Amino acid sequence: MLAAYGLPAFPLALLGLPLNVYLPAFWGDVMGLGLTTVGAILLATRLLDGVTDPLVGWLSDRTRTGLGRRRPWIAAAVPIAAPAVWLLFVPPTGAGAWHFFLCASLVYLGWTMVNVPYSAWGAELSPDYNERTRITSWREAATIAGIVASAVVPAVVSGGIAADLRALAMTMLALSVPAFVALFTLVPEPVAPAGRPVRRSLRAFLAPLRRNRPFLRLLAAWIVNGIANGLPAALFLLIATHLLDAEAQSGLLLLVYFVAGVAAVPFWGWLARRTSKHRAWCASMLWAGAVFAFVPLLGPGDWPIFLVICVLTGASLGADLALPPAMQADVIDLDHAESGQPRAGLFFAAWSMAQKGGNALAVGVGLPLLEALGFRTGPEGVAGLGALVGLYAVTPIALKLVAVALMWRFPLDRSAQAAIRARLERRG
């Protein structure tokens, strides 16, 4: 059952690397929009998510059908997202900024309609503190495996960025059908609470988010860490090409980074069981920051050293993906105990919005800022390389330290979550 639940994360993750790494370069360079325009459009699409994410979460929690609360939303996303993915990755000749904006907006809308109910479904599968880590570990291990596959496909195709994106779109669309069939048929959806949902406005429904202090703390750390991860992702190809003079090795560097993330997931699960989820996550962020400190020492031809850095920082990726969503499920229990209403969809909508917002800030602010700080490439050489290295490595270290400071004394540990579950069991 856990494997069937995690399976859809694999094709969904095939979108992650192209959206954050390949598409900015493709639309900015090949399609001629420019990095600043691409960054602004991607930031605008994420602002739309500020409306759609909480709306989908609110509606998903209130849905009552014979198929359940979560399945109908995931099924409805397919006809929206599938054509948009193809037109975004394989645009017609002459496609411009409006085409990019419309297709990207539809892709993110479809992503919301899948990811928010899908994540809420996982949080509802088990009330156990450690079992939730296992559930999210299966899902996020499949996510990392999908990201690894998105790095392998271009290496196999080797036909340039346009051919790579076409192959990725075809692979993702083909694998989505069997993955979602397995999810719908093999994974039970917990029964919704009896009776009709309480009739409340969306504004009143959002109020618990502001009152739930552990949730706000976790959300803030997730946004900060998301920016810290999004900046290196957006600038990776520039680092490989202009700092390391290793454009030909960029596929290998990405591959080992994500393989290390997959391999490290069991370790972070073990460490979370021995200590706590939030302390294990903090340890992973401190580890990544310490390793990133060596990047400014590198120069042309140092890609073998950078390969080691990719392995070591990739190891922390498994914790970034598996542990915070497991803590989110615990935060949802706290809200359920205090309000009497199960609102997993609402909380995971805010979670999804924060994740996309962090990535959007990294791209929408990072790329224009890089140009504003003087980074330029041309026949005469590269200017502003220090700004590139600073945004790629130094800024993420500072951001991860902020996230650690937010999470180090996080109040919902194993004993606190057990007390919350006891309250819920006495009530129900």
Q: Residue 398 belongs to a domain with what CATH number?
A: 1.20.1250.20
Report how far residue 165's alpha carbon sits from residue 153's, in angstroms, rounded to the nearest whole number: 9
Place of tokens 């849905």: 63
Structural domain contains residue 205? no
Nearest 5°: phi and psi at 193? -55, 145
Structural domain contains residue 320? yes
Reduce the DSSP state of residue 290 to 3 states and report it.
helix
Contact 398, 234 (CB under 8 A): no
Which whole number is the average pLDDT over 162-185? 88
340 phi-psi bin (left φ>0, alpha ψ -120 to 50, beta other):
left
Residue 141 is predicted with a pLDDT of: 78
Q: Quote the number of domains for the chain.
A: 1
Segment 363-400, tens digit of pLDDT: 778 878 887 888 877 767 788 889 999 999 999 999 99
Q: Which amino acid is at 327?
A: M
Distances from the Cα of 100 to the Cα of 26, 39, 97, 270, 358, angstroms: 11, 11, 5, 43, 20
Of 80-94, 345-359, 360-374, 389-403, which range is least confident? 345-359
| C-alpha atoms less than 13 angstroms from C-alpha of 111 in its C-beta half-sphere | 24
Range of the domain at 284: 2-187+213-427
Structural domain contains residue 202? no
Q: Which amino acid is at 170?
A: M
Structural domain contains residue 56? yes
Contact 83, 382 (CB under 8 A): no
Report how far residue 236's alpha carbon sits from residue 241's, in angstroms, rounded to the nearest whole number: 9
Structural domain contains residue 283? yes
Q: Would you tell me the crossing angle of helices 129-157 and 414-427 to the nearest 10 degrees?
A: 110
Examine the pLDDT at 201 and tell me if it is beyond 60.
no
Which residues are CB-neighbours of 256 under 8 A, at least 6 positions away? 307, 310, 311, 314
Structural domain contains residue 206? no
Question: Which residues does residue 381 pair with via DSSP β-bridges, in sequence order?
Answer: 378
Q: Which amino acid is at 278?
A: H
Structural domain contains residue 193? no
Residue 313 is predicted with a pLDDT of: 94
Structural domain contains residue 195? no
Examine the pLDDT at 350 and tell me if it is beyond 80.
no
